[in-house]
Structure 1
């Protein structure tokens, strides 16, 4: 069992840190709102501290899950950031969905200070975090990954090293590209079924067992038909992720016409007041257009 720190107790980080404690690790947590860190410590029995630097001091592994590049820089290389105190040869594992650029930047900073950095964005959403069943995509050295993977297993169903620093973030971008296109296609299919007078649930039952089947269809199809979106991965978060994807595509020359279009569709959903709706709410946009 290891001495670990967890920085960022949002909808993902809170249960992830809980799984680490349940697995027997000695866990210290930091959250920007200290009351939330105190609540976590009261629930799980770990320790709550008031700065990232204090959390990281003496930890063998430091985990992080915050909002974006700026948040990540703040808790790592900012004032009282974790990089001030991460010990030599410790491993810093970042689960934020961020840019490959900031992953490489922080990897270089970690190397200068004598510790290891792994960018390790996750897929599986809040339910995956709560159930300890996330998919973790990692970028870093093999040696650092081999040390961190058994600890990450506390909240992961799958964990794989994808390449050097930044490769984890690039793989997560591929994940979001695929999801964006799938959800739009599913939205259009179910919208078409409704306009054609078909029983949507019967259609789902029929086609989900064939080539059209997907996680999105199995887990979101019925709620899309029912027009329910007050759960899941928020549109605001997806737009943040797709912004990262499109920025990277401009740098590497990839052509992503569908992704760019779906990003704009999510912008329409935000303008409808749906920033916190689940990403499957793309179908509500189509319904609105028909009114």
Structure 2
């Protein structure tokens, strides 16, 4: 069992930290809102810390799952950040969906300080975090990855090293590109089926068993048909992720016309008041 810290107890971080505690790891938690960290400790044990530095001191692994690049830099390098407090040989594992640039930046900064870094964004959403079945995409040194993988598996169904620092974030970008296109295609298919007078439940039952089948169809098709979006991965978060994707594409010259278009469709959903709706709400702009 490992001595670990977990920085960030949002809808993903809180259940991920819970799974670590349930598997017997010694967990110290930090959250920007201290009351949330104290409530987590009351429910799951361990201890809370007032700052990232206090949480990170003496730990073997420091996990983070925060909002964006700036939040990540703040908990790692800011005043009372984790990096100055981490001991030699420790590992900082970042589960934030962030840019590949910040992953490389923090990998270099950790190396200068004598400890290691793994970027490890996740897929599976809040349900995957709650149920401990996330997919984790990692970037870093193979020997360091081998040390942290058994601990990550406390909340994961699948975990894989994708290459050097930044490769986890790049893989997560591929994931979000694919999701954007799939959800838009599903939205248009359901919308078309409704206009054609078909029984959408029956349509989904049939085509889910063929080449059109996908996780999105199995888990979001029926709720899209019912115009239910008050759950899941929020449109605001998806637009944050797609902004990272499109910035990286400008850098590496990848052509992403569909992704750019779907990002604008999500902007339309935001104007409908759907910033906190699930990403499947793309269908709402077709049926408004």
Deviations 1:41-73 (A, max 9, x none): 000011011100000000000000000000000
CA distance in 1, matches of 2:24, 2:106: 29
1:188 lines up with 2:188 in the alignment: yes
Residue aligning to 2:169 = 169
CA distance in 2, matches of 1:6, 1:265: 35
How far is the alpha carbon of 1:84 from its aligned partner? 1.1
CA distance in 2, matches of 1:37, 1:143: 32
Ranges of 4+ aligned residues in structure 1 off by more than 6 Å: none
CA distance in 1, matches of 2:23, 2:85: 25
- The aligned length equals 288
SS at structure 1 position matched to 2:135: strand
RMSD over equivalenced CA pairs, Å: 0.3
Residue aligning to 1:254 = 254
SS at structure 1 position matched to 2:236: helix
1:25 lines up with 2:25 in the alignment: yes
How far is the alpha carbon of 1:38 from its aligned partner? 0.1
Residue aligning to 1:14 = 14
How far is the alpha carbon of 1:181 from its aligned partner? 0.1
SS at structure 1 position matched to 2:237: helix
Deviations 1:61-101 (A, max 9, x none): 00000000000000000000000111101011000000000
Residue aligning to 1:283 = 283
Residue aligning to 1:39 = 39
With normalisation by structure 2, the TM-score equals: 1.00
SS at structure 1 position matched to 2:146: helix
1:231 lines up with 2:263 in the alignment: no
Residue aligning to 1:178 = 178
- What are structure 2's unaligned runs of at least 5 residues? none
Deviations 1:161-210 (A, max 9, x none): 00000000000000000000000000000000000000000000010000
Deviations 1:84-127 (A, max 9, x none): 11110101100000000000000000000000000000000000
Residue aligning to 1:103 = 103
SS at structure 1 position matched to 2:138: strand
With normalisation by structure 1, the TM-score equals: 0.99
